[in-house]
Amino acid sequence: MFEITANAFVLAAISFVAALIGFSLRTKKIAKSRLRIALLEREVMRSHAEILDLQRDFIALELKVHIKDPVSAMKKVLEYESKEKLPDVSLRKKLLSKENSPEKGEILSLVYKNLQSKQA
């Protein structure tokens, strides 16, 4: 049939040309991606600039109309809350103190007795 002889220099030249073509295609793809990134960055910068212009216009309109400050002073809020009568917590503290709280064993025995009475 056919006999193919491979010359080392021809094989090296083919490999070099294939690598060169591969690198050039990859370089073109990277350049295209960088161009797309630059376009998107410009678009984002343009939109941010537009937002800043709109905010500047809004503040100018706000200053023209003299809108009252929507934030209320904390002193007024505290005074309003202090008018309400709060419950006395000293009794709760006494009830929940360690001296008045039952031990773990006592609680478990009460629960166990309760369960036994329900089962019977």
pLDDT of amino acid 5: 75
What does the DSSP 8-state code read for residue 66? T
pLDDT of amino acid 65: 80
3-state secondary structure of 108: helix
Does the pLDDT at position 117 exceed 80?
no
Taking residues 17-27, report their average pLDDT. 97
pTM exceeding 0.75 = no
Rounded to the nearest angstrom, the gap between the alpha carbon of residue 107 and the centroid of all alpha carbons in its chain is 44
The tokens 């006999």 sit on which residue? 3
Does the pLDDT at position 56 exceed 60?
yes
Q: What percent of the chain has pLDDT over 70?
A: 55
What does the DSSP 8-state code read for residue 72? P
Query: Greater confidence, 3 or 9?
Result: 9
Contacts of 85 (CB under 8 A, 6+ apart): none
Please give the helix or strand (H or E) that residue 46 lies within, else none: helix 8-65
Taking residues 83-108, report their average pLDDT. 62
